[in-house]
Amino acid sequence: MRRAALRLCALGKGQLTPGRGLTQGPQNPKKQGIFHIHEVRDKLREIVGASTNWRDHVNAMEERKLLHSFLAKSQDGLPPRRMKDSYIEVLLPLGSEPELREKYLTVQNTVRFGRILEDLDSLGVLICYMHNKSHSAKMSPLSIVTALVDKIDMCKKNLSPEQDIKFSGHVSWVGKTSMEVKMQMFQLHGDEFCPVLDATFVMVARDSENKGPAFVNPLIPENPEEEELFRQGELNKGRRIAFSSTSLLKMAPSAEERTTIHEMFLSTLDPKTISFRSRVLPPNAVWMENSKLKSLEICHPQERNIFNRIFGGFLMRKAYELAWATACSFGGSRPFVVAVDDIMFQKPVEVGSLLFLSSQVCFTQSNYIQVRVHSEVASLQDKTHTTTNVFHFTFMSEKEVPLVFPKTYGESMLYLDGQRHFNSMSVPVTLSKDYFLEPKESNIC
């Protein structure tokens, strides 16, 4: 059993305080200097000189080669930045601009979480460009891309498609070539924006041609609160390194984990035979191999990012939607996402690729479902498949779900990996009653 986590989403958790620029209540974005959601992608194109026309992308990338001379030779040559230098607020006016709703609307009259993932990815990149803003060049010489979605915690089951949403975020930690970004999402309730989501992304800076690493501006904390955020960033980096070093792809399971797998194996042996080959499922259980769903996406130019690769937010949306369908099919009722973690962007996906997504339930407990989505692209030349991403989603079902049982050693490792991700989840086992209320019923502030 995992430890009982103690924290819920709270205003200012892992982010700057309201006094540092977080506006409250209904706002006029033009007066307050808040970006409209449509302005985020436009601003990114302006910063890197990307064209909105696919046919112009080759010329645009050729122009970026000229920016190589503006790259710093070392981090020491770059001026330090403050956390408030990168602080951004973005408004998604679902309530005040109803024409936006259809893109974000589910058939259950809630907000599509996959679309929120796309917006978070774009916002994280823009925040990092604001941190590294240079006055010496019209366009940024940096190519900033998402390396990792470290953690997304939800503290609200449903979001209303009829109330404005606001995002905010800033750089919270900086290495030599990487940056940690903290983001929060709020929704308007009455005359106040209330927190509903916390996210931590890791971004990396590449050179102007996106071929090698590039240095980023250092970050200087200005007060004890910011020093704590920076220290937490260092701890997060250490935690990621430790988690990677103990990966089941590198090390054997612990003694406790081996015992867990052996006990599960023994519980599936047929008591009528004395054989390791005769396997039967315990009551209310499903074989892991029967919990899979797959999909194929053709990666069209429409889904490209500012560097003419496939947009990472699009990949996250497609993976999430397949994971949701998997959890729905497995649990027999509508699932609700409560956490996303450890999404590593291992390789870029080129425009024109065939993208294969494979989703599988790898761990369950009570009414929780842990889903793993594996993403790979196929080479049309040599027929090889290359892994690009692995996604981890935690869902909560409205009712208790069956246990999932592995049959093979490989599936046993998937089970343990899913258990580890579930145990690292930050939200509590028993969520507050407001989590389960429909959008119009809840009062989460």
Instruction: Determine the pLDDT at residue 230.
Output: 95
Residue burial 270-306, b: 16+ Cβ < 10 Å; e: rest: eeeeeeeeeeeeeeebbebeebebeeebebeeebbbb
Instruction: Determine the pLDDT at residue 279.
Output: 81
| Beta carbons of 148 and 166 less than 8 angstroms apart | no
**Rounded Cα gap, residues 46 and 69, in angstroms:** 19
C-alpha 385: how far from chain center: 24
Three-state SS at 267: helix
Entry pTM: 0.84
Residue owning tokens 């984990």: 257
The residue type found at 273 is: T
| Ramachandran angles phi, psi of 143, nearest 5° | -110, 105
Write the DSSP string, 321-378: HHHHHHHHHHHSS--EEEEEEEEEE-S--BTT-EEEEEEEEEEEETTEEEEEEEEEEE
**Rounded Cα gap, residues 25 and 11, in angstroms:** 14
* Conformation bin of residue 409: beta by default, left when phi > 0, alpha when psi is -120 to 50: alpha
CA distances from 174 to 146, 181, 189, 198, 345 (A): 14, 9, 34, 19, 19
Beta bridge mates, 395: 337, 369
| Beta carbons of 351 and 159 less than 8 angstroms apart | no
Three-state SS at 140: coil
Instruction: Name 272's Cβ contacts closer than 8 Å, sequence gap at least 6.
Output: 278
| Beta carbons of 130 and 33 less than 8 angstroms apart | no
Question: Which has the closest alpha carbon to 321: 114, 105, 106, 108?
Answer: 114
Within 10 Å of residue 405's Cβ, how many Cβ atoms?
A: 22
CATH assignment, 256-424: 3.10.129.10
Instruction: Name 112's Cβ contacts closer than 8 Å, sequence gap at least 6.
Output: 104, 105, 106
pLDDT tens, N- to C-terminus, the chain (445 residues): 333 333 344 444 455 544 333 333 334 444 446 899 999 988 988 888 776 776 677 677 777 777 887 888 999 989 999 999 999 999 999 998 888 898 999 988 999 999 999 999 999 999 999 999 987 777 888 999 999 999 999 887 788 999 999 999 999 999 999 999 999 999 998 889 999 999 999 999 998 888 889 999 999 999 999 999 999 999 999 888 887 878 888 888 899 999 999 999 988 888 777 777 778 888 889 999 999 999 999 988 888 887 778 888 899 999 999 999 999 999 988 999 999 988 888 888 888 889 999 999 999 999 999 999 999 998 777 778 899 999 999 999 988 999 999 999 999 999 999 999 998 875 443 333 343 344 444 444 6
Instruction: Determine the pLDDT at residue 246.
Output: 80
The residue type found at 335 is: P
**Would the CATH topology of 37-246 be identical to that of 256-424?**
yes
Instruction: Determine the pLDDT at residue 321.
Output: 96
**Rounded Cα gap, residues 64 and 68, in angstroms:** 8
Residue owning tokens 């004395």: 274
Domain range list for the chain: 37-246, 256-424
Residue 60 has, within 13 A of its CA and on its CB side, a CA count of: 17
Instruction: Please state which CATH class domain 37-246 belongs to.
Output: alpha beta
Instruction: Determine the pLDDT at residue 54.
Output: 67
Within 10 Å of residue 410's Cβ, how many Cβ atoms?
A: 10
Geometric angle at alpha carbon 54, from 53 and 60, rounded to 5°: 80
| Beta carbons of 298 and 334 less than 8 angstroms apart | no
**Rounded Cα gap, residues 388 and 373, in angstroms:** 11
Q: What is the dihedral of CA 89, 90, 95, 99, to 10 degrees?
A: 170
Instruction: Determine the pLDDT at residue 33.
Output: 63
Query: Tokens at residue 419, please?
Result: 């258990």
